[in-house]
Structure 1
Amino acid sequence: MPPSGSSHASPAPAGDPIRVMIAKVGLDGHDRGAKVVARSLRDAGMDVVYTGLHRTPEEVVAAAVQEDVDVLGVSLLSGAHLTLIPRVVELMREAHAGDMLLVVGGVIPDEDVPVLTAMGAADVILQDTPPEAVARRVRELVAARQPR
């Protein structure tokens, strides 16, 4: 369930590319997987912004709002997801970015998936998910969010 309350722009009209930010929050020093996902989403026709390594939750949410993304994808490998994601969700709420979808990916233990979705993640994508499946899932999430 994404954060509630929104001044974030309405979803892109049908036909406009989905805008996605892939972010590396915290001290992760490895971003190959995030870059592979970013490239796959771009190849699937999405507009993708990649933040680079070692970003704070504040930097990432501010950039996501500035870039007016539909989806904020946070990649975490460090095991700090239960510490960092609540802060990202809090900042999204403060920014009134309630219609921006938060997707968490990376090395996430199975037992933490429902915890992250309860915190506000629209979905949790695990490390072994093929990039094409990630693109398909992002499209599904955005389509489900848009008014019918």
Structure 2
Amino acid sequence: MDRKRLRILVAKPGLDGHDRGAKIISLALRDAGMEVIYSGLHQSIEQIVSTAVQESVDIIGLSIMTGAHLSISQNLVNKLSDEGIEDMRIVVGGVIPKNDIQKLKAMGVAEVFPNGTKFDQIIDGLNALV
């Protein structure tokens, strides 16, 4: 059975200037056969949604190192809902405390990958979403 290639947008929202991890995971996902669009630094929620729509991605992956993961994720969930976009999944990676994982999932984030998650786990987790 031929499977569609997974398309993922890796986005760095807000003022977060730490993009090394996002670039490394982008390469790992590409090497796993996914189509990866990397948005670059300092993206607004509106820019992320616009890019995701233009690129017809399956998944929006937020890389957040600032500790603002709850508010940024909620804003993205709200923006997608406001735009009537319900077929894109959201995943979040970065500095995510264990106590916040269930909060993120309750607001509509499909999967959370805290620092230290192995590439194979991330790849398997993303593939399981579609």
TM-score by length of 2: 0.95
Within 1, Cα distance between the matches of 2:97 and 2:51? 28
Specify the SS of the correspondent of 2:102: helix
Letter in 2 for 1:124: V
**Matched AA of 1:63:** T
Residue 76 of structure 1 deviates from its aligned partner by: 0.3
Structure having greater relative contact order (Cα 8 Å, sep ≥ 6): 1
Counterpart residue number, 2:124? 136
Question: For the residues of structure 2 that align with 1:14 and 1:64, how far apart are their CA atoms?
Answer: 24
Give secondary structure in 1 for the equivalent of 2:109.
Answer: coil
**Deviation, structure 1 residue 14:** 4.4
1:37 correspondence with 2:40 = no
Instruction: Percent identity, please.
Output: 45
Displacement of 1:95 in angstroms is 2.1
- 2:66 pairs, out of 68, 78, 82, with 78
Structure 2 equivalent of residue 54 of structure 1? 42
**Letter of the aligned partner of 1:77 in structure 2?**
M
Q: Which ranges of structure 2 fall in alignment gaps of 5 or more residues?
A: none
The CA distance in 2 between the partners of 1:107 and 1:84, in whole Å, is: 13
SS in 2 for 1:105: strand
Q: Figure out how many residues of one structure are paired with residues of the other and give that number.
A: 130
Alignment of 1:1-148 (within 5 A): 14-142=2-130
Q: TM-score scaled by structure 1?
A: 0.84
Q: Report the AA paired with residue 29 of structure 1.
A: G
Alpha-carbon spacing, 1:14–1:72, altered in 2? closer, same or farther (3 Å): farther
Letter in 1 for 2:126: V
